[in-house]
Structure 1
Amino acid sequence: MKYIFVTGGVVSSLGKGILTSSLGAILRGRGYRVTAIKIDPYVNVDAGTMRPYEHGEVFVTGDGAETDLDIGHYERFLDVDLSRANNITTGQVYLSVIQKERRGEYLSQTVQVIPHITDEIKDRIRRTAAEQNAEIVVVEVGGTVGDIESLPFLEAIRQFQFDEEDQDLMYIHLTLVPYLPSSEEFKTKPTQHSVSTLRGVGIQPDVLVLRSDKRVPDEVRKKVALFTNVHAEEVFSSPTVDYLYEMPLVLEEQGLGRVVEKKLGLTPIPPNLSFWQQAVRKLKRPAHEVTVGFVGKYVKMPDAYLSILEAFRHAGIAHDTRVHVKWVNAEEITDLDKATEFLGDVDGVLVGPGFGIRGIEGKILAARYARERRLPYFGICLGLQVAVIEYARNVLGLEGAHSTEFDPYTPHPVIDLMPEQLEAQGLGGTMRLGNWPMRIYPGTLLYRLYGRELVQERHRHRYEVNPAYVEQLVQAGLVVSAVTPGLQGRGEGLVEAIELADHPFFIGLQAHPELASRPMRASPPFSGFIAAALERRRQTLFHSVE
C-alpha cells in the first residue's frame, strides 16, 4: 500500500480537495487502483446537520453516509463509488474510542490522545484502503496546519513514517502564495511559516503546491524550495483555472505525476488523460449554449448545490454545450408575473432540493410557470414535491394542498411523512439515505432516458408523495413514471418520479441523480434536461428569426 497525505497551510479553502482529486485522476490515468479519504477535524459525527451556508452541500454516498462535499469531488475525478469510511471526522474517532473504553477494550488503561486516538485514526485509514482494494490511498487532512483541532490527525499521519517504508509514503503540502499588485510580487513568507509549522509537528513535506491566482514563476518556486528544504522540481504551481477539470492537466504538465512515481518507487508510466483534454476543450469552446433558471433559496452560496452544478457541466460535456446558470431566489417569485420576469428568458427551469418553508411558494409558482408555458422542467427531491403540490392545487383542484412539512394542518397533505419517519428521533442520519432501487415504467420519458427498468439512485429526504393521493393525481393526468419496489403495504411502492405526457420535458425525481453523475458519464435525467433545453433554445431562435 502506498500513502499520500495532503495538508494545507496559511488559510482554509485553498483547494486541497481539488488537489487530492486531481492527483487521484493523474494516478488513475496511469492505471492504478486509487481511493481517497477526507479527514474533517470538526466534532460533528458527519456533515448531515450542518447549514449549507456554512459548509456547502452535504454529499451522500451510495451506502447512505452524509459527508463533506470533497467526497463528491473524489468520486467525480476518480470515477469510483466511495463509502462512509472515506470521510473521517473527529466526532467519529472520539465516539468510537469512547465506546471501546466503555466496553472495556482498553483493559482499564488510561485512554489518551496518544496512542489511542491516533491509533484509531491510523486504523481507519488502513482499513478503508484495504477494504477498497486500493494500491494508492490519498488522504486529505482538512483544516489548516496550526489549528488545534487538526493536531491529533497530523500526529497520526506523522506516525506513518515509523510504520511504513520510505518509498511507500509521501507528504504534499498546499499553501497560499499571495500576489500583491501594488508591488507586483508574489509573497512567500506565509508559505515559509506554514512549512515551518508543519515541520514543527514532525512532518517534512516531500512536495509543495503553491496556490495563487496566477502561475507562480520559476524564480519564486526556487526561492520557496530554498527556504523549505524541498527541491525546486518538487515545488508546483496551482493557479486559478476556468474549470476544475483542468487541474489534472495543469499538474501533470508540470511533472507532479513523475515526482510521485519517483518518491513512491513506482514504474514510470505515460498517463492517459485524453478524456480530461477532450472535456476541457468542450467546456472552453463548446458548439452550443443554453441558460437554465435555477430556483432555490441558497443562491448566494452556490456550493450548497455543488453536485447539481457539476452535473450540468457533465451534461454540457455530453452535448458539447455550455450551460449558463441563472440564479433565481425563490423568495422573490411572489406571483406569475414575477415568475415571467425571472424565468421568461431561460431555456429550462430546475427546482432543487432543500429543507424548510422559506421560498416554498416561489418554487411552487416556478413549477406552475414551467408547466403552463411548456418550459423544460426538472425537479429534484423538493423539486418533485412542489410540482406535485402545484398540480394538486391547480389541476386536480385540491385547494390548500400542501406538504405537512410546511403546513401540518393542510386539508390535503399530498406530501407527508411516512409512518416510520414519525418514530425517528433526532436529525442526523434519520432520512431515507443512499442508494434505493427505482423501478421505471416502460413507455415513459424517464425510461427512454435510462434505457432500463431498474436503476439505483441516491436519496436524502424524509417526506414522500402521500400514497393516499396518487390515484387522484394519476386520474388528473399526472404520470407516475417510477416507484420504489418491494416496500410492504405500499401497493406499487413510494413514488420515485413523476412526469407529464403532454409536455416537452417535465420530470420530477425524489432521488438526487446529481450525486452519481460523472464527467465521463453524465446522469441520464440531467442529459435529457439539457437536450430539452437545447431544443427549446433552437425553437425560440427559429421563431425569433421567423
Structure 2
Amino acid sequence: MAKHIFVTGGVVSSLGKGITAASLGRLLKGRGYRVTMQKADPYLNVDPGTMSPFQHGEVFVTEDGYESDLDLGHYERFIDENLTRSSNFTSGAIYQELISRERAGDFLGGTVQVIPHVTDAIKERFRRVEEEAGADVVITELGGTVGDIESQAFVEAIRQFRNEKGRDDCVLIHVSLVPYIAAAHEVKTKPTQHSVRELRSLGLQPDFIVCRSDHEVDASIRAKIASFCDVPADHVFENSDCPSIYDVPAHLAAQGFDEKVCERLGLEPRACHMEGWYAFTDAMHAANARADVTRISVVGKYTQLPDAYLSVIEALHHSGVLFGRHVDIRLVDGEALDEKNVEAVLGDSDGILVPGGFGLRGIEGKICAVRRAREERVPYLGVCLGLQVAVCEFARDVCGLPGASSAEFDPDTPHPVIDIMADQATVTEKGGTMRLGAYPCRLEPGTLAAEAYGEPLVWERHRHRYEVSNAYRERLAAAGLRISGLSPDGRLVEMVELPEDVHPWFVASQAHPEFKSRPDRPAPLFREFVRAAIAHHEGRDRHDVEPVEGE
C-alpha cells in the first residue's frame, strides 16, 4: 500500500506549497521510490478550464486531456512523470459528482451531507490516484490556506483518511509563512503559531513544518516554532527564497528533509541519486552568469501575470540551459503593439514567440509581431494561437487575401483561413469540451519540424477549437507555406513552417509542446527555436550552436 503525504499551507496563499511538494517528490524519486502527485483545490469551479489566467495562471493540460491547475506542470517537471485527470480535483467536481448521483437516485432518498458524503468522495480521490499510478508514495497538496471556510471539508477528509489508513502511513507537512519585519530586524513566528493552532483545532497535528521566508530562519527560531507547535525540533525546516525553484530540492535535502520524511513513514532511506538534477542546476547557474543574453519576446495578452505563460517560460529556460545561454524573456502586450511601434518594441529580439490564447483582444498586435519575424528573418515559434495568427498573416501579406482572419475573431471575414473544427461546431457547453490532450502528428520528411523531433510520428497535447481551414490549404501551400505536420488521417493541419531558403527558422504548432518540456529534456520545438535565436544573436549558423555537453 502506498504511503501518503499531505501538504497544507498557512497564513497566506502562493507560499510555494507546490514547489515544496514537488521538491520532496523529486528527492523521494531520487531515492528510488515511485512517486505520484495530486492537487486538491477547494474552489467551486469544476476545473480551471474556464478560469481567467489573470486569476489562476495558465491552464495546464495533461496527457489524457484534463484541464488542470498549473501546479501539475511543476509536478511533472520535477518528478518527470505524466500525470492524469485523477491528479487534480476541485470542490466543484466533488459536488457535481454527488449531485448527479443524488439525481440518479443513488442515495435511495437519504440526506446527502458534507459528512460523510463529501468527505467520502474526497477520500475516494485520494485512493483513486494511488491505485491508478501504482505509486509507493502519493503527495497531495491542498490548495488555499488552512482556516478558509471552503477548505474545511478537505481538512476533515484528510483527518479521516489518516485515521483510517494509520498514522504510520500518512504524513502531514504544513508550509507556513515566517515573515521578516524590517522595522524590528527580525522574523516573526506568531503567524505560524496561529496557523498551526488553527490546523490543530480542526483535528490535524502536523508532522513537519516548512518555514517560508525571504530571510533565513535560523535554528533558534525553528526551535521556538517546534516548541509552540508540538513538533520535534528536527522536523522544522526552513525554505527561504532560492535563486531558482530548481534549487529548492538541494536546499531541503541539505537539511535532511527527505531523510526525515522517509524515517517518519518507515521507508528505507536508500541512497539519493540526484546527479542529473544537480548537473542541470549547475548548468543553469553557469548560463545565468553569462553577461551576454539571448532576447526572446513572448507576445501575448496576459502579460501582467507571467504565470499565465508559465510552461512556455519554463520550456524556454530549459532550452537556454541546454545550450549554456541565458535567455532573457520579455512579455510583450499584443494589444499595445502595432506597425508604428513594432520596431521599437521588437527591434532587438533574437526570437519572437506567440503563445496560446483565446479571443480577439491583441490579435492584430500578434499578427504584427508575426509579420516582423517573417520579413526580418527573426526566428519565430507559434504555439496554438501562434500558429493561427501566423497563417492569418501569411494569407493576408503573401497570398493576397485581404482581411483574412479566424472565424473566432471575425465571423464576417471574407477569408476564414482559420475555422472551427467540424466536431466542435455544435458544441455549446464550456469547460472540458475542446480538443484536449495528446494527439498524433505525422511529420513531413525534410522539414524543420521533422529535424527537431527526429521521428516521423509524434504526440503533443492540444487545447483548441479552431484549425486551419482545409478550403485554403492548397492556396497557402502554393504561396510557400509548408504544411510540415498533419494528423495521421490527413484531415488536420498540425504544424506549418517556412522553407529554410526563405527564413532561417519559422515554425508553428497547433499543439502545446511546452507542456511536455523537462529541465533535462527541453521540448524539441522550443529547443530548436532557442538554438535558432542564439544563432541569430551571435551571427552564426544555427547548426553550429551545440549543447554545452558538446562544446
Q: Same fold by TM (over 0.5)?
A: yes
Q: What is the alpha-carbon distance in structure 1 between the residues aligned to residue 231 and residue 313 of structure 2? A: 38
Task: Name the amino acid aligned to 2:293.
Answer: E
Q: Distance in 2 between matches of 1:142 and 1:58?
A: 15
The amino acid across from 1:324 in the alignment is D
Structure 2 Cα separation of the partners of residues 368 and 185 of structure 1: 53
Q: Does residue 370 in structure 1 map to residue 373 in structure 2?
A: yes
The alignment partner of 1:397 has SS state of: coil
Counterpart in the other structure of 2:130: 129
Structure-2 separation of matches of 1:520 and 1:33: 19
Q: Report the equivalent of 2:531.
A: 531
* Residue aligning to 1:512: 512
SS of 2:147's equivalent? coil
Residue of structure 1 equivalent to 2:199:
198
Q: Displacement of 1:69 after TM fit?
A: 0.3
Equivalent of residue 492 in structure 2, options 483, 490, 494:
494
Q: CA deviation at 1:352?
A: 1.0
Q: Which amino acid aligns with 2:433?
A: T
Letter in 2 for 1:423: T
Map of 2:210 onto structure 1: 209
Deviation at 1:165, TM superposition (A): 2.5
Q: How far does the alpha carbon of each residue in 1:227-261 deviate from its partner, in whole angstroms, 9 at most, with x for none?
A: 00011110011111121111111111111011111
Q: 1:136 & 1:367 partners in 2: Cα distance?
A: 46
Residues of 1 paired with 2:410 and 2:101: CA distance?
44
Which residue in 2 is equivalent to 1:292?
296
Q: Residues of 1 paired with 2:60 and 2:325: CA distance?
A: 26
Query: Which ranges in structure 1 are unaligned for 5 or more consecutive residues?
Result: 487-491, 542-546
Equivalent of residue 307 in structure 1, options 302, 311, 321: 311
Give the deviation of 1:166 after TM superposition: 2.3
Q: Give 2:185's aligned amino acid.
A: E
Segment drifting more, 287-296 vs 87-96: 287-296
TM-superposed deviation, 1:103: 2.5
Match of 2:32 in 1: 31
The whole-number CA distance in structure 2 between the counterparts of 1:497 and 1:268 is 47
The answer on whether the counterparts of 1:246 and 1:276 sit within 8 Å (CA) in structure 2 is no
Cα deviation, residue 418, structure 1: 2.2
In the alignment, which residue of structure 2 is the partner of 1:463? 466
Q: 1:453-478 deviations in whole A, cap 9, x for unaligned? A: 11100001111110000000000000
| 1:60 Cα offset (Å) | 0.5
Q: Name the amino acid aligned to 1:374.
A: R
Identify if the C-alpha distance between structure 1 residues 257 and 147 changes in structure 2 by more than 3 Å, giving closer, same or farther: same
TM-fit CA distance, 1:40: 0.4
Structure 1 residue 98: Cα displacement: 1.6
Q: Does 1:259 align with 2:230?
A: no
Alpha-carbon distance in 2 for matches of 1:104, 1:404: 43
Q: Which one of the candidate residues 382, 385, 409 is aligned to 2:385? A: 382
The aligned amino acid for 1:523 is A
Secondary structure of 2:438 counterpart: strand
* 1:544 alignment partner in structure 2: none
Q: Does 1:327 align with 2:331?
A: yes
Residue 447, structure 1, aligned to residue 450, structure 2: yes
Q: CA deviation at 1:435?
A: 0.5
Deviation at residue 540 of structure 1 after TM alignment: 7.9
Q: What displacement does 1:279 show?
A: 1.5
Task: Provide the C-alpha distance between the structure 2 equivalents of 1:413 and 1:107, rounded to a whole number of angstroms.
Answer: 53
Residue ranges of structure 2 left out of the alignment (5+ in a row): 542-551
Secondary structure at the counterpart of residue 429 of structure 1: coil
Task: Report the Cα distance in structure 2 between the residues aligned to 1:112 and 1:289, rounded to whole angstroms.
Answer: 58
Cα contact 1:177–1:210 (8 A) shared by 2: yes
Aligned to 1:147: 148
The C-alpha deviation readout for 1:95-121, integer Å capped at 9, x for no partner, is 111222223322332211111111111
Residue 458 of structure 1 aligns to a residue whose secondary structure is: strand
Equivalent pairs counted in the alignment come to 535
Instruction: Output the TM-score relative to the length of structure 1.
Output: 0.96
**Greater Cα shift, 280-289 or 388-397:** 280-289
Q: Contact 1:11–1:144 at 8 Å: present in 2 too?
A: yes
| Alpha-carbon distance between aligned partners in 2 of 1:111 and 1:83, rounded to the nearest angstrom | 29
Helix, strand or coil for the counterpart of 2:267?
coil
TM-score (norm 2): 0.96
| Local SS of the residue matching 1:121 | helix
Q: Aligned equivalents of 2:167 and 2:435: distance in 1? A: 44
Could you tell me which amino acid in structure 2 is paired with residue 282 of structure 1? Answer: A
SS in 1 for 2:413: coil
Tell me the equivalent position of 1:316: 320
- Could you tell me how far apart the structure 2 residues matched to 1:128 and 1:276 are? 26
Conserved 8 A contact 1:53-1:304: yes
TM-aligned CA deviation for residue 32 of structure 1: 0.5
Q: Give % identity.
A: 52
Q: Which residue of 2 aligns with 1:65?
A: 66
Matches within 5 A, 1:86-235: 86-235=87-236
Tell me the distance in 2 between the aligned counterparts of 1:268 and 1:58.
36
SS at match of 1:138: strand
| Structure-2 separation of matches of 1:100 and 1:431 | 25
Who is 2:546 aligned against?
none
User: For residues 174 and 226 of structure 1, what CA distance do their matches in structure 2 show?
Assistant: 17
Mapped contact 1:282–1:321 kept (Cα < 8 A): no
Matched, 1:237 2:238: yes
Partner Cα separation in structure 2 for residue 351 and residue 173 of structure 1: 39
Residue 290 of structure 1 and its aligned partner are, at CA, apart by 1.0
- Contact 1:249 1:276 (8 Å CA) reproduced: no
1:295 counterpart SS class: strand
279-288 or 8-17, larger mean C-alpha shift: 279-288
- Answer with 202-211 or 100-109: which moved more: 100-109
Task: Tell whether 2:432 aligns with 1:429.
Answer: yes
Query: Following the alignment from structure 2 to structure 1, what is the Cα–Cα distance between the partners of residues 20 and 67?
Result: 22
Confirm whether residue 397 of structure 1 aligns to residue 400 of structure 2: yes
Q: What is the DSSP-based 3-state SS (H/G/I as helix, E as strand, rest coil) of the residue aligned with 1:12?
A: coil
Query: How far apart, CA to CA, are the structure 2 residues paired with 1:215 and 1:321?
Result: 30
The Cα offsets for residues 53-103 of structure 1, whole Å up to 9 and x where unpaired, read as 011000011111111000111111010001111001101111111222223
> Where do 1:45-60 residues align within 5 Å?
45-60=46-61
Alignment of 1:473-492 (within 5 A): 473-486=476-489, 492=490
Kindly indicate whether residue 245 of structure 2 is the aligned counterpart of residue 247 of structure 1.
no
Among residues 350, 369, 372, which one is paired with 1:347 in the alignment?
Answer: 350
Separation in 1 of the partners of 2:57 and 2:409?
Answer: 23
Q: Which digits, 9 at most, give the CA deviation of each residue in 1:191-220, with x for residues without a partner?
A: 000000000000000000000012211111
RMSD: 1.2
For 2:513 and 2:142, locate their aligned partners in 1 and report how far apart those are by CA, in whole Å: 28
- Give the Cα–Cα distance (whole angstroms) in 1 for the partners of residues 521 and 249 of structure 2: 18
Amino acid corresponding to residue 533 of structure 1 in structure 2: A
Paired position in structure 2 for 1:489: none
Does structure 2 conserve the Cα–Cα contact (< 8 Å) formed by 1:379 and 1:387?
A: yes
Task: Give 2:545's aligned residue.
Answer: none
Equivalence for 2:77: 76
Is 1:416 aligned to 2:414, yes or no?
no
1-structure distance, mates of 2:540, 2:350:
9
- Alpha-carbon separation, structure 1, partners of 2:78 and 2:460: 19
Measure, in 1, the Cα distance between the counterparts of 2:199 and 2:271. 32
